[in-house]
Structures are given as structure tokens and as C-alpha cells.
Structure 1
Amino acid sequence: MFRIGIVGPSLSVNRILEMAKEMEQEMEFIPLAYNETSEIKEIILSYDQRVDFWLFSGNIPYTIAKKLLPSDENLVYIFSTESSIYKGLMELSYSQGKLLNQASIDMFQSNHNAEGEGVEHLKMTIKDLYVKTFDAEIDPNELFRFHYDLWKQQKTEGALTCYPTVNQALQEAGVPAYWMSPTRIEIFQTIRIFFEKIKTSYYKETQIGVVMIEVIDFDHIQEKLKKPYQIHYLELRLKELLIQLCENLGGSLFEQGNGRYTIFSSRGVIEREIQSIQEKIESLSIESNTAVAAGIGYGQTLYFSEMNAHRALRQSKEKEAKKITIIQDDGTMIESVGQEEELTYVYRTDDKEFLEKLNKGNISVKTYKKIEALIRRMGWNGFTTKDLAINLQMSERYAQKIVADLCKVNLADYIGEESPHTRGRPIKVYKLK
């Protein structure tokens, strides 16, 4: 059972808690309410080891917590839209019995762009609108003075604030005020997505992960070593590195012979230890003085995980640089994992019309999807055959053939030319359809 810490003002925490319990019964919810934002630090530090995920009532507590925790991976906050502003204006107008012509509003700084459109619409409705943006460290008294002074000078007829304590203080001082809080639908949508994120995290943690490693041309290494014990010493040094990696992954190591090794672990651990895997692969390569390929496969069963790992290893071996390749359970392939040139694409499709075109052009789904992923990652509006050749590590002649075939089956278009840096013919530019 996951433990969820819900942080915010007591009114917000109670609303979130009520809806969360209606939607999910298999999680433990820990309400952690505060009166002042200065209390958030103590809450986070006290409960960090006691909760699995954090759910914040808004961007203010989230921003403070984000600075205290090493990662924001398990943090989510209720995102407010302009709806909360409109709702606040309507409630304030209703309490006054008239539409307001003058009002003040405070807004958290990082929300200003997201809610800016709502404020612009308010300016069309309200004759005089005074806006104050603030950061998470602001003293609530400063917000109180902002609203109160404007009202005292008769420049406003009411105030909209993000702080419940400021709202209460303004009302006690006689200022018509309303606390802008997320709407029920905003809370519902955030909680729903949050629960999906938690379940996805659990799904990843429990998925089987298989790491397959192969020292390339291991047979040739054996032939080069003159003394019979030298190969045994090499194998012992390699195995020591692999046992260290296995310890990091909390997995099991199996030797398959001839420089081939398999480690069984879980997807969650492997994803967290990708850098460690990369470092050990480099160490293995240095120790053996040859390239080392690595493929990682994920799946719900051992069979599918191994099958995906085999495919990933084969893909890694095809590359000159022998970078780590991952194949996930949904068919997503990630090449050059953790590198600047990392490429993610799905190498299968159910689109029959699309498949017919590829078959007609004698182009594999993997090749097309890889080109598509490269264009997306590079942000190209158009590409040349040289661009593909350089980035996909293929000959320019082969790239020309692929592009010609894509154009032939109406999956790519010739869109223009660019001048070469040196003398020569213009270079053709293409675009996928």
C-alpha cells in the first residue's frame, strides 16, 4: 500500500482528502495541514521517509518542497487554471450583490503565465484591476497590506487572494475578500492523473528487467592471449565488474560463455541505475580492450523480457559505437540510452494502409520510425540524405535509397534545395508526410 502525504492549508487538505478517498481505497492518505508556509519545511523533513508520494494543494507548497527534496519525481500539485479566478470573481460579486468595477488580486509568480490569460480577461471585465505577483517566500502580511491599503484608499471594492490566512485577515478587517482555490474538477483531474502515475510507477517497479551484455569478438581475444591462464584472469576481472553491477541492480548474474552475460532484475531498479550500467560497460570495454554491446528488455513475464533483451542486444551490436539499447514491453525502442543522441521510437504499427506503403517501398517499420524520431528530436523542418547518414550512422548512398523509396510510396516529399558550403550541386531537402 502506498502512503500519500497531502500538504496544504487545512481547508484544501480536507477537500483533497475527501475526493481522494472516494476515488481510491487502496492507498494510505496522510493529511499534513499547515497554517503558515513557514511550517512546510518542517513537514517535508519530518515525513520524507514516511511517505512514498507527495500531493500538494497548490504551487506554493510544491515549490517550497521541491527545493528541499533531491527529486521532484514523486511530487504533484493541484494545478489551478483561470477557472478558479472566474469562480472567485463570481463569488465575490455575488456577496456584494453587484459586478465589481475595481478589485485587487494576488498571484503566485510561476503561475502568472498559466493564469495570465484569465487575468487579461478580468481586465476586460473590471475597470481597475490591481495585480500583485509574489514568490513562495513572501510574508503573508505583505499581501494583506497590498489588498487592505488599496481598499482603504477606496481604489478597490474587493480582493481575490491565494492565501486562506490573508483572506481571513481581510474579512476580519472588513474587506470583501475571497480565497481563490482550485475548483472541484481541477482537484479531481489532478488526483486522477496522480493515481495513474502512482500505478504506472508500481507497474514499472514490478516489471521484469533483463540486461544482456556481450564482449564483442571474445573468441579472437582468446586466440590473441598466448598463455592459457591469461584468459582465465581476464574472465575473473570481467566477472568482478559484472558482480559489482549486479550488486547495484540487486539482480542475479548468469554466465552464458564466450563473453556473454545476463543479469535479471526489475525495470524500476534498472532505470534508476542506467548511469551505473553505462560506467560498467565502459569499464568492461577498457578491461577487454574491445567493444562491449548491451541490450535491456522489459516485460511482464521473463520470456518477453528476455526476448526484448535479445532484440535490444542485436540492435546494439549492429551499431558501430555499441551503445546501450532498450526495448520496452510496448515495443518502444530506445537507442544510445542516456547519451545526447538518444533516440526513442516504436518499431511496430497496426496501421494497415501505412504498412502496405512501407512494404511496397521495401522499407521496414523500424527504419521509418527511426527517421521520424530523429526528425522530431532534432526539430528539423526539412532534412537531407546527408543529415540521415550522419545521425543514423549509415552510408549516404543507403540514405538516398531510403528517401527515394519513401518518396516513391508517397511517405516523403521533395520540398526544395539548399546551397552547399563549397562549390557543387544544390542539396535536395525532403520532408516526411
Structure 2
Amino acid sequence: MYTVGVIGPNSSVERIIQLGKEYEMTMNFVAFPYHDFHETVNIVKDNHHAVDAWFFSGQISYMVAKNTLHSGENLVYIQHTESGIYKCLLHMGFYQGEFLNKVSIDEITNSHLEQAVKQLDFAPKEIFVKTFDVNTSTKELVDFHIDLWNREKTAGALTCFEAVYRELKEAGVPAYHISTTDMEIRQTLRILEEKLRAFYFKDTQIGVQIIEIEHFDKISEKAKSSYHLQYLELKLKETLLRFCEQLDGSLLEKGNGRYIIFSSRGAIERKIKDLQDTIYQLSHESHTTVTVGIGYGVTVHSAEINAQRAIQLSKEKSEQPIVIVQENGTITESAGEEDEVSFSYRINDDILLEKLKKAKISLKNYSKLYTLIKKMNWQEFTIKDLAAHLYWDESNARRILASLCEVELVEYTGKDAQISRGRPSKIYRLK
């Protein structure tokens, strides 16, 4: 059974857990209510290791948690739709006789309101919208609504936050809480169940790590005696055994500085930082570089083949990063680092492949570029951005972007006017 932490205002958390009882055979829900969404930071920091997944009542607390944990894996939030807005507007119309007129609304994005209004046959009048993000305070939102109310610009307020709703009611402002529907909660519960199934599959996949002490033959030649070499091998093996114990895996010594660890994918992914520490220690003890390749697979054989491919790819890089090759062909370079990037050699999009062929750009380079842009959430980017993150020289990055522009996979949007010295940087975006 998986433990799921539920984060949100108390009333939302109670509703989610009540509806989550339908999944009590597979999921155990634990309540983590807050008064203000900024409390999410400490909640996930203090309890992340006690849960398998997090369920958020809204997008803003999800964004806070994602920034705190540096990962969105095993996090889900309820996607708010127009339903919540319609419900509030109906209440306002019933109780006050005002409908889509003289109202203030706080929203994470204008899109929900725009979609809601677009589906109506009449144009709204005097709607005041305040968008918010993870840095917005409750006071800022309360002040926005109260200021409009005091100036008689609005007849009521719609808010996404329970804390804002309570303060507005106390201040005498007619307020309505944009809450989620049971249907939206149930849909998110289904998504969470699917995520946890995928998590279980990943957790039970075979994981193989090949760890190689570089230039071990030269170390053997330089050893003062066979005893010194054996002492070194014992020290290296002791370091690896400690790490292997953390993985609950098994260690196989192949000789000549090459070791193989068999474990599960889930254990390896959870201990990637410990692997980095182990590599550093091995490198310090042997006074040479250490190369690591990780392979995942349904069988030991397929996982080992992928690990062999991974270590070969690592050796081709000057910085020799940790490389992971998955069963589906996805390759991850610099695993566990800030500049971690994943790409795939396998793709079924014939149109894309044809365009890359015409541009003479490898699928690997395009995949790395595409993955980086999506990971960094860049709407636009420059040659310098790509060069800095992908370790490409600027002339190579310029050539790749020019070729991708020719086949309409990337487009040039203008120049950065903020550059004070030198030439303005050209700005691009994915098409």
C-alpha cells in the first residue's frame, strides 16, 4: 500500500480524503492541512521521506512543492476547470443579483476565466482580475479585493484561497470561494493511481550499475608490491559494499577495477546522490577517475546490456558523467546533477525524422535541445543559453539553430534589446 500526503486547506483536505476512501485498498491518505500555501515548503521538506506521493488541492501549492523538491515526480494536483468559477458566479447571481458584473477575481492564470467567459453568449462588464504566483502573499490578494470593494468598483469577490475568503468575509466583503468539484477530485485520484502503478513498475525493474576504475592496469604496474594492490582492492570493495548495502543489492567483482552492482531501478534512483558520493570516494582512494554506467531492464540480461552501453557513452564524454540507459531507449546524461538531460534515439514521428535528416541534425542533439528547453520551461532562448547548458560551443549551437530554423522546427523571434554591450543576442523559440 502506498502512503499519499494530502496538502491543502483543511476543508479541501477532508473532502479529498473522504473521496479517496474508494482507493483504500491501494492508498493510505495522510492529511497535511495548511492555513497559508507558503507552509507547503516546510510540510514537504519535513515529510517527503514518509510518503510515496503528494496530492495537492491546487496548482499553487504543487508549484511550491515542485520548486522545493526540485522534481515533479509523484506529485499531482487538482486541475481547476471553469466549473468552480461558474458555481461562484451562480451563487453571486442568486444572493446579490449580480452576474459577471462588478466582480474581482484572483486566478493563477487568465485562461480559466477567459475559457469560462468565452462559452457564454453575453459579454461581462467590469471584471477585475489579479493573477498570482508562488511569491504572492495572502495579504496582497486580500488588499486587492478590499481596495476595489472600498472604492465601490465591485459588488463581490471570487477567490481561489480559503484564507483569503475568510479574511474577506470578516472584512464584510461578499466573497465566494472557487473550490474544486467532486468530479475534478475523482479525476485526479485516477491520475494518481496510474502514476503509482507506473512507480511500482519502475521500482521492480532490474537495475545494473557498472563501475569502472579507469587506468587500473597502470595502478597495478605502479603498485609497490602485490600487497599494496590487494590493500587498495580491499578498500575499494569495502566502499562499494557499503553503498551496495544501502541499495539492498549484490556486488560482483569482475577484476581489473571493474565492478557490477545488481539492484532494483527504484533503489538506484533513490540513492543517486549516494552513488555520487561513492564515486568521489573511489576516485579519492584510487587517485584516478571512475566511470559509471547504469542500465534498467525487465530482465538482468537486458539491464546489463543497457549498463554496458551507458558506460561506453560515459567514456566518450570528457567529464565522464553518470549515464543511464532505460529499457525504452531513453538516455540520461549527468544523472543527479543540475544539468541532467534525457533524450531518446527511438522516435516514431516520421515527419520530425525527415526534417532532422534534411537539416543534417542528429536525433540525439535535437532531443537534448528539446528536453532542455522543456525542463527549463523556456518560452524563448538564445545561443548562449544552449551553449552554457549543453556544453556546446557557440558556433556549433548557432549552426544547429540555423539548420532547425530552415526546416521550421525552431523559429527566430528577434533580438534581446537588454544587452548593454556588444551585439544583441538573437532570440529563438521552439515551433
**Aligned counterpart, 1:214:** 212
Q: Is the 8 A contact 2:214 2:288 kept in 1?
A: yes
Q: Which residue of 1 aligns with 2:365?
A: 371
In structure 2, relative to structure 1, the CA distance for the partners of 1:307 and 1:178 (3 Å cut) is: same
Matches within 5 A, 1:347-426: 347-350=345-348, 368-376=362-370, 377=372, 391=391
**Which of 316, 339, 342 is the aligned partner of 1:318?**
316
Question: Which amino acid letter does the alignment assign opposite residue 285 of structure 1?
Answer: S
Residue in 2 aligned with 1:328?
Answer: 326
Counterparts in 2 of 1:222 and 1:232: CA distance versus 1, 3 Å: same
**Compared with structure 1, are the counterparts of its residues 116 and 355 closer, same or farther at alpha carbon in structure 2 (3 Å cutoff)?**
closer
Between the aligned partners of 1:173 and 1:392, the Cα distance in structure 2 is 57
Q: 1:289 Cα shift?
A: 3.6
- Tell me the TM-score normalized by structure 2: 0.68
SS of 1:127's equivalent in the other structure is strand
Change in 2 beyond 3 A, CA 1:278/1:179: closer
Amino acid at match of 1:125: P
Structure 1 residues 54, 371: CA separation in 2 closer, same or farther (over 3 Å shift)? closer
1:92 corresponds in structure 2 to 92
Cα distance in 2 for residues equivalent to 1:350 and 1:166:
48
- Cα distance in 2 for partners of 1:336, 1:60 equals 30
C-alpha distance 227-392 of structure 1, shift in aligned 2 (>3 A) = farther
Q: TM-score, normalised by structure 1?
A: 0.67
Secondary structure of residue in 2 paired with 1:265: strand
1:308 aligns with 2:302: no
Looking at structure 2, the residues matched to 207 and 175 of structure 1 have their Cα atoms a distance apart, in angstroms, of 56
Post-superposition shift, 1:411? 12
Instruction: Say if 1:73 and 1:345 are closer, same or farther in 2 by CA, change over 3 A.
Output: closer
Deviation digits for residues 178-219 of structure 1, max 9, x if unmatched?
A: 321124454344333333333333333322211101223323
In the alignment, the residues of structure 1 paired with residue 354 and residue 171 of structure 2 have an alpha-carbon distance, to the nearest angstrom, of 73
SS at match of 1:303: helix
**Cα–Cα, structure 1 residues 48 and 317, in superposed 2: closer, same or farther, change >3 Å?**
closer
Aligned to 2:126: 127
Aligned to 1:225: 223
**Structure 1 segment 251-262 matched on structure 2, within 5 A:** 251-262=249-260
| SS of corresponding position for 1:197 | helix
**Identity score, percent:** 42
Q: For residues 125 and 321 of structure 1, do their structure 2 counterparts lie closer, same or farther at Cα, with a shift above 3 Å needed? A: same
Aligned to 1:26: 26
Query: 1:318, 1:137 → 2: CA distance?
Result: 49
> For the Cα contact (< 8 Å) 1:305–1:329, is it kept in 2?
yes
Give, in angstroms, the shift of residue 119 of structure 1.
10
Conserved 8 A contact 1:84-1:181:
yes
Contact map agreement 1:297 1:308 (CA 8 A) in 2: yes
CA distance in 1, matches of 2:3, 2:53: 7
Structure 2 unaligned regions, length at least 5 = 413-429
Decide whether the 8 Å contact of 2:104 with 2:148 is kept in 1.
Answer: no
Q: Structure 1, unaligned stretches of length 5 or more? A: 416-431
Partners of 1:32 and 1:281 in 2: CA distance: 37
1:293 corresponding residue in structure 2 = 291
**Alpha-carbon distance in 2 for matches of 1:334, 1:67:** 21
Q: Distance in 1 between matches of 2:269 and 2:192?
A: 20
335, 338, 347: which is aligned to 1:337?
335
CA shift for structure 1 position 355: 7.9
In structure 1, what is the equivalent of residue 55 of structure 2? 55
Number of corresponding residues: 392
> Structure 1 residues 260, 5: closer, same or farther in 2, change over 3 A?
closer
CA contact (8 A) 2:36 2:163 kept: no
Structure 1 residues 332 and 155 mapped into 2: Cα distance closer, same or farther (>3 Å)?
A: closer
Question: Using the alignment, how far apart are the partners of 1:73 and 1:290 within structure 2?
Answer: 35
Give the 3 Å change call, closer, same or farther, for CA 250–21 of structure 1 in structure 2.
same
* Pair 225,15 (structure 1): closer, same or farther in 2 beyond 3 Å: closer
The alignment yields a C-alpha RMSD, in angstroms, of 5.4
Q: Assess if the C-alpha contact under 8 Å between 1:144 and 1:166 holds in 2.
A: no
Hey, what's the Cα distance between the residues in 2 that align with 1:382 and 1:32?
41
Structure 2 distance, partners of 1:143, 1:354, is: 49
Cα distance change on mapping 1:259 and 1:77 into 2, 3 Å:
same
Q: Alpha-carbon deviation of 1:381?
A: 8.5
Contact 2:98–2:155 (CA<8 Å) still a contact in 1?
Answer: no
Instruction: Name the residue aligned to 1:281.
Output: 279
> What is the deviation of 1:177?
4.3
Q: Report the AA paired with residue 2 of structure 1.
A: Y
Contact kept in structure 2, 1:343 and 1:373, CA below 8 Å: no
**Deviation of the 1:295 alpha carbon:** 0.6
Determine if contact 2:36/2:138 at 8 Å carries over to the other structure. no
Q: Secondary structure at the match of 2:362?
A: helix
Aligned residue type for 2:262: F
Q: Could you tell me whether the CA contact under 8 Å between 2:159 and 2:176 is conserved in 1?
A: yes
Could you tell me which amino acid in structure 2 is paired with residue 245 of structure 1? F
